[in-house]
Amino acid sequence: MSILIYAESAEGKFRKVAFELASYAKKVAESLGTTVTAVTINTTDVSELSKYGVDKVLKVTNDKLAGFSAKAYADVIKQAAQKEGAKLILLSSTTDSIYLSPLVAVSLEAGFASNVVGLPVSTSPFHVRRNAFSSKAFNITEILTDVKILGLAKNSYGIFENASALTTEDFNPPIGENDFGIKVESVEKVSGKVSIADADIVVSGGRGLKGPENWGILENLAEVLGAATACSKPVSDLDWRPHSEHVGQTGKPVAANLYIAIGISGAIQHIAGINASKVKVVINSDPEAPFFKVADYGIIGDAFDIVPRLTEKLKAF
């Protein structure tokens, strides 16, 4: 069973999820006694994948694919899978890959399991563990088709170095005009330096911060930690912060290693989107705030007192 991964990039550079996916694929390949091939689209330097155990890269360079087009990208992945005779195709759980995976699955008549966590529980029958109910539970799913597609949950496996002798092949699959039914014309830039999708640490603020003029304390903390900034829904609805920072059930999902919630009450719709984060720290002046029930660490107190002090302490490290 050969393995193909789609190693995602943005503006020509690999996204962090590509390295996590490669690390995961290598481990699965070892257990199956096979190799890992990656397909890349308009990535400038693909050699980085050799650090994470990828054996071969199918490098696609095509100006028509400069903007994300789900149908066209899915067609490229499908053709790469067919070329390699791949039986197991792995994608991440980014916004782009969540679009792509079902399209690839339909075109290859493959079974698709999203939100997979951990290595396959068994390979014959093929069982995987998946996050369910906003990461509050797991289920075990069996994929019955010959070709199988997995969407790896973000930040669920980790990045592990495992050097390989990488070979690169230019790959130029034909793409029809019908593949471009939808075209992304522009991309909204995330305001912070680190994007929420790639962040190990996310510092998030709620209505408890009282107004946009007070976000400096949160941004200072995020800068010291190299974190992305995020916010609750009302904060972006009030235009205190851009909509790209809204996290939760109706916003972006967050699966960070550390999620720091400042002045956020912990409504169920917020928790649903951030529950997959590994360590949750809550700073709230109300000891009865629901967020404390799901927090790993909690600080009861005024954010305007605690956050600047915390930032100063962290600067000292």
Of residues 233, 258, 260, 311, which one binds ligand FAD by CB under 6 A? 233
Rounded-to-integer distance, Cα 65 and Cα 41, Å = 7
302: contact with ligand FAD by CB under 6 A = yes
Q: How far is the CB of 315 from ligand FAD (least distance, A)?
A: 21
Nearer to ligand FAD, 64 or 136 (CB): 136
298: contact with ligand FAD by CB under 6 A = no
In Å, how far from its chain's centre is CA 18? 9
Q: How far is the CB of 28 from ligand FAD (least distance, A)?
A: 33
Of residues 57, 289, 295, 310, which one binds ligand FAD by CB under 6 A? 289
Nearer to ligand FAD, 169 or 305 (CB): 305
Of residues 53, 120, 192, 248, which one binds ligand FAD by CB under 6 A? 248
Site for ligand FAD in 181-220 (CB under 6 A): 206-208
Q: How far is the CB of 200 from ligand FAD (least distance, A)?
A: 21
Q: Is 268 annotated among the ligand-binding residues?
A: yes
Site for ligand FAD in 15-44 (CB under 6 A): none
Nearer to ligand FAD, 78 or 233 (CB): 233
304: contact with ligand FAD by CB under 6 A = yes
Rounded-to-integer distance, Cα 133 and Cα 12, Å = 35
Residue nearest to ligand FAD (CB): 248
Binding part of the chain for ligand FAD, among 10-18, 109-117, 219-227, 285-293 by CB under 6 A, reads 285-293
Please enumerate in sequence order all residues whose Cβ is within 8 A of that of 156, keeping only pairs 6 or more positions apart, or say none: 116, 117, 118, 131, 255, 276
237: contact with ligand FAD by CB under 6 A = no
234: contact with ligand FAD by CB under 6 A = yes
Q: Is 98 annotated among the ligand-binding residues?
A: no
Q: Indicate the length of the chain as a whole number.
A: 317
Of residues 7, 113, 152, 303, which one binds ligand FAD by CB under 6 A? 303
**3-state secondary structure labels for all residues of the chain:** CEEEEECCEECCEECHHHHHHHHHHHHHHHHHCCCEEEEEECCCCCHHHHHHCCCEEEEECCHHHCCCCHHHHHHHHHHHHHHHCEEEEEECCCHHHHHHHHHHHHHHCCEEEEEECCCCCEECCEEEEEEECCCCEEEEEEECCCCEEEEECCCCCCCCCCCCCCEEEECCCCCCHHHHCCCCCCCCCCCCCCCHHHCCEEEEECHHHCCHHHCHHHHHHHHHHCCEEEECHHHHHCCCCCHHHEECCCCECCCCCEEEEECCCCCHHHHHHHCCCCEEEEEECCCCCHHHHCCCEEEECCHHHHHHHHHHHHHCC
Shortest CA distance to 47 belongs to which of 87, 20, 14, 77? 14
Nearer to ligand FAD, 155 or 284 (CB): 284
Of residues 230, 284, 298, 311, which one binds ligand FAD by CB under 6 A? 284
Nearer to ligand FAD, 142 or 305 (CB): 305
Q: How far is the CB of 77 from ligand FAD (least distance, A)?
A: 30
Nearer to ligand FAD, 72 or 283 (CB): 283
Residue numbers at the binding site for ligand FAD (CB under 6 A): 206-208, 232-235, 248-251, 263-265, 267, 269-270, 273, 283-286, 289, 302-304
